[in-house]
Structure 1
Amino acid sequence: MFCFQCEQTAGCSGCTGAAGVCGKKSVTADLQDELTGALVGLAHACMNNPKTEQTDRIIIEGLFTTITNVNFNDETLREMIARVREEKGRVVPGCAACMSPCGNTSDYDMKRMWEADEDIRSLKSLILFGIRGMAAYAYHAMVLGYTNEEVNDFFYRALFAVGEDFEMEDLLPLVLETGKVNLTCMEMLDRANTETFGTPVPTEVPLMVEKGPFIVITGHDLYDLKLLLEQTKDKGINIYTHGEMLPAHAYPELKKYPHLKGNFGTAWQNQQKEFANIPAPVLYTTNCLMPVKESYADRVFTTEVVSYPEMVHIGEDKDFTPVIEKALELGGYKEDTAFTGINGGTKVMTGFGHGTVLGVADQVIAAVKSGDIRHFFLVGGCDGARVGRNYYTEFVKQTPKDTMILTLACGKYRFNDLDLGTIGGLPRILDMGQCNDAYSAIRVAVALAEAFDCGVNELPLSMVLSWYEQKAVCILLTLLHLGIKNIKLGPTLPAFISPNILNYLVDNYGIAPITTPEADLAEILG
């Protein structure tokens, strides 16, 4: 195997050998490469032949399946490969492979990409990993009935480029276009979520689990949560979010269910410890799955594209009866049980999306003009297990009292239970939501720039980001597309960025690795 798409990749260079750091075995990684090659082949076939909504769905599902921590199941990967090839046969019926392959029937060999010139490989990796992340957002929107032809069409063009012998001058504009199209995709998902579930409102979420049967739901898919809440209504079962599902508590159409009680646990990488002894089932909806330990394997359920060998999978019928029966069987805790965040806090806040923050924009602008707010920090992104991520906790703790921290995604679990006080009635830590809610941060930044009649890079706003997987890649590309500069990125720089491409990003965008909280704060605040 060869894989370097996530931040924890071995030796900061690439996972090889029998298994990856994430727990994927080499045969699984090879099947994901085979699936990617089949998707490239399908995209080639569709460049000269008409696609359908079914083709779009297969492309999106296939890309989503290859994101880190989504699928560890060789059987379902082979099924997905077969679906892609079957769809290609429908797109080009009766076209058999010949002595001079035209691309209509041939899969792409991913070894060609991994063994290419390092700069070409780097740019193609940015495109491929970017569209994998974007496919996750497109999938969540698609589940709610929202699609966008610009987004869908770009998946084909990007996959086509991965399979072509393009030069750097052809690939670099496509890298930035990936960021542009992802902005459209995030806007679509934001609209899908708010039109379906309402505009998020600031909400205090307890970290205590009440006595009695309960279910923990993790991932990102809010529609799965809605269905679970409906099916558990009046059954005496409480529902607790985990990881990136925390922001669900802020949506009015989900808040109205009284048995959506609170949040259990912290970020995804702690699940093997946190899930070990809980008397309740866990439902995985998206890419938060780690190799399942025997201590809780009988309580794990998956749905959507998430899959793990021998775990019960809830199919398209979305009948969560097995999860419900397991919750009733296990019975939950005998007494109310208190938990804390990693800093000892007993509650967290969420729901500060663009709808809320822009609703008090006049107060925020006045606070900046009066000097009550000196600087904004966007400290967010993915959490992970690599040593050094405590940097983000210490950074936030050391921010001056006249600064605000915007945060999103699961990186916030490093500090979201801290009480840093308020400025003008707003808590200093504003949780804007899931990783895709980077769109909210962008909306707020653009609105502030307009209010102060300046560019985004002239605002008293600094981005200090953590990355782990492919959704962080597409968000970074969106920020580059918008021309945002001087981003600090950590805990390590991506292994798939070649020295030449890194120099390009440094020279043109001022991207820099994090150092120490003290040094970075001193540099930013000058």
Structure 2
Amino acid sequence: MFCNQCEETSKGVACTVRRGVCGKSEEVAALQDLLLHSIRDLATHASLAREAGWVDEEVNHFTCEAVFATLTNVNFDPERFQRLIKQAQELRDKVREELSKNRPDLAGSLPSALVLERFDISTLIDKGNRLGFLISLDLDPDVRSLQEILLYGVKGVAAYAHHAQTLGQEDDSVYGFIHEALAALGNKEWGGEQWLDMVLRCGEINLKTMELLDKAHTSAFGNPVPTSVPLGHRKGKCILVSGHDLKDLKNLLEQTQGKGIDVYTHGEMLPAHGYPELKKFPHLFGHYGTAWPNQRKEFAAFPGAILINTNCIQEPHESYRDRIFTTGPVGWPGVEHLAEGEYGKPIEKALSLPGFESDEDRGSVMCGFAHSAILGSADKIIQAVKDGKIRHFILVGGCDGARTGRNYYTELVEKTPGDTMVMTLACGKFRFFDRQLGTIEGIPRLLDIGQCNDAYSAIKVALALADAFGCGVNELPLSLVLSWYEQKAVAILLTLLYLGVKNIRLGPTLPAFISPGVLGVLVDNFGIKPISSPEEDLQAILSR
């Protein structure tokens, strides 16, 4: 077992024992490795087919879904990986047959294929262990580092592309790049410059993918509007939804109408309350709990059914294992997995459980400050900057995690002076999302832009402000302080680097897969720096 893709990887180096820090078993790690080898094999064939003018929609969609399954805290179910590996092989053979039949001139160019003759789980685990990690650990450290950055960036792109595709928004150039990048990971000839170029192209494609996802969300659910969300609950039956998928939430809301069940969001589902097409359901009542690291404690205390629809699942505690359900890419062995849109079982379970016994008011938080809402107040914000009422914008966003040191982000936000605006997104905000920071000219000082999926909103706001002030993004009174945990955050960071954004502070630790040589390039060219202390970083930020 070798896995270093998340921020909490063992000893800051890699998980190499029988169980990863995330709870991933050695067996599941081997299946994920084999799946990635199978997907690279498929991608190599798909890239060649694309050059020959043949593109297959099923191959495109499957690639993103399968890559998504290998992200941190997404899928821990061996049987699901067994099916994905078999499907990858079948689709590879489909592409190979199509090329051999219609382009016999390319027969000699077909790469050798990964052959799996048996698909029982024990055989697949053995094969995965023998193949090992997709990227050779014997490569030059800087080349290996760049290849790992590319792999993890592609994982983030694939996840965003999958979300967008399920809502009908896709761009073939995204699929083309994913296949090209995965196929390139078998290239033994490239040096550092070629890999760095590929890494920055990944950031460029991720920007396009996030734009697609933003269009998918706003087309389906409307532009988010500032919305007050209760943190308490009301008496009655209930279902809790955690994850990222807004389509799943809407389907559940439609199926629970008139059944006397309130629906609550958890974690990254909080921004759902700002979308008009979701707000119109009166039984979408409020937000329960905080971020994914706390779900075992929070889920155990929730008195209803639980539906989790994408990444960030932890091993379910026995106290709620019989009332949690998964759907979409996420999975845990022994937890019932639902086909898309089939919510009869969690609804039935919710009706059989006591629900909340009384009302409880625990205050509220604001969400819904996506780019349309913020830019709708652009004139007011720009004037406040010109009048000296807003001195600086600080984007404090990214992933939450369980490792110590993340209280830095809470303290940083709490210590920001009253003439600064704090923008935030993703689950890292749950370290401070309920802080009352007041307003500037009637605008809340703390602006929740949305999910990690909504990083495009923050980018669009920054670019619009730069245009309004007639300067570059790096000349704005804007600083980025990011927390990272998994591979979507890697993709977002690559997008910021592609856009030339400099002086990003990153924490709580730097990625284990960034070599000293690559880190030197990032420091020299982009000013990437690790977080220090809230006081020191604020002093440096506000002295710009």
- SS class of match (2:19): coil
Q: Which AA in structure 1 matches 2:28?
A: T
Counterpart for residue 48 of structure 1: 48
1:218 aligned partner: 242
Structure-2 change in CA distance of 1:99 and 1:292 (3 Å): farther
Q: Does 1:437 align with 2:471?
A: no
| Coordinate RMSD, CA, aligned | 1.7
Counterpart for residue 346 of structure 2? 323
Q: Choose the corresponding residue for 2:198, options 139, 152, 174.
A: 174
Q: Distance in 2 between matches of 1:338 and 1:296?
A: 24
1:137 to 160, 174, 183: 160
* Alignment partners' CA distance in 2, 1:233 and 1:201: 23
1:59 aligns with one of 60, 63, 73: 63
Query: Which residue number corresponds to residue 30 of structure 1?
Result: 30
Query: What residue identity is the alignment partner of 1:268?
Result: W
- Scaled by the length of structure 1, the TM-score of the pair is 0.96
Please, which of 276, 280, 289 is the counterpart of residue 313 of structure 2?
A: 289
Give the equivalent residue in structure 2 for 1:504: 521
Tell me if 1:102 matches 2:106: no
SS of the equivalent of 1:63 reads helix
Contact residue 37 and residue 109 of structure 1 kept, 8 A: no
Task: Please report how far the alpha carbon of residue 150 of structure 1 lies from its aligned counterpart in structure 2 after TM superposition.
Answer: 1.2
- Matched ranges for 1:197-276 at <5 A: 197-276=221-300
**Alignment-mate amino acid for residue 42 of structure 1:** L
* The one of 440, 443, 458 aligned to 1:426: 443
Residues 112 and 263 of structure 1: CA distance in aligned 2, closer, same or farther (over 3 Å): closer
User: 2:185 matched to which residue of 1?
Assistant: 162
Kindly provide the amino acid, as one letter, of the partner of residue 93 in structure 2.
G
Mean Cα deviation higher: 43-52 or 434-443:
43-52
Letter in 2 for 1:47: S
Is the alpha carbon distance of 1:109 and 1:159 closer, same or farther for their aligned partners in structure 2, counting shifts above 3 Å?
Answer: farther
SS at structure 2 position matched to 1:352: coil
Question: Does the Cα contact within 8 Å between 2:36 and 2:134 map onto a contact in 1?
Answer: no
Q: 1:134 to 1:111 in 2, by over 3 A?
A: closer
How many angstroms apart in 2 are the aligned matches of 1:242 and 1:71? 19
| Counterpart check, 1:306 vs 2:320 | no
Say whether the 8 Å CA contact 1:407–1:432 is kept in structure 2: yes
Which of 279, 293, 315 is the matching residue for 2:303?
279
> Are residue 412 (structure 1) and residue 429 (structure 2) matched?
yes
Partner of 1:342: none
For 2:321 and 2:424, the matched residues in 1 are separated by 32
What SS class does the counterpart of residue 214 from structure 1 fall into? strand
Secondary structure at the aligned position of 1:463 is classed as: strand
Partner residue of 1:357? 374
Corresponding residue for 1:455?
A: 472
1:400 aligns with 2:417: yes
After superposition, give the CA deviation of every residue in 1:309-365 in whole Å (9 maximum; x if it has no partner).
11111114x2100000000011202112455xxxxxx31110000000111100000
The answer to whether structure 1 residue 348 and structure 2 residue 365 are counterparts is yes
Secondary structure at the residue paired with 2:511? coil
Distance in structure 2 (CA, Å) of the matches to 1:181 and 1:111: 22
SS in 2 for 1:406: strand
Please report how far the alpha carbon of residue 111 of structure 1 lies from its aligned counterpart in structure 2 after TM superposition. Answer: 5.1
Counterpart residue identity of residue 262, structure 2: N
Match of 1:73 among 59, 71, 77: 77
Alpha-carbon deviation of 1:524? Answer: 1.1
Other structure's SS at 1:33 match: helix
User: How far is 1:235 from its partner?
Assistant: 0.2
Structure-2 residue corresponding to 1:343:
none
Report the identity percentage: 55
In structure 1, C-alpha distance between the alignment counterparts of 2:249 and 2:186, rounded to whole Å: 37
1:475 aligns with 2:492: yes
Q: SS where residue 450 of structure 2 aligns?
A: coil
Aligned length: 518
Aligned to 1:93: 97
Q: Which residue of 1 aligns with 2:21?
A: 21
Which position in structure 1 is the counterpart of 2:502?
485
Q: 1:99 to 1:111 in 2, by over 3 A?
A: farther
Q: CA deviation at 1:175?
A: 0.2
* Runs of 5+ unmatched residues, structure 1: 340-345
Question: What stretches of structure 1 move > 4 A for 4+ residues in a row?
Answer: 98-101, 104-109
Aligned residues of 1:44 and 1:103 also touching (Cα < 8 A): no
Aligned pair 1:124/2:147, yes or no? yes
* Distance 1:142-1:95 versus aligned 2 partners, 3 A rule: closer
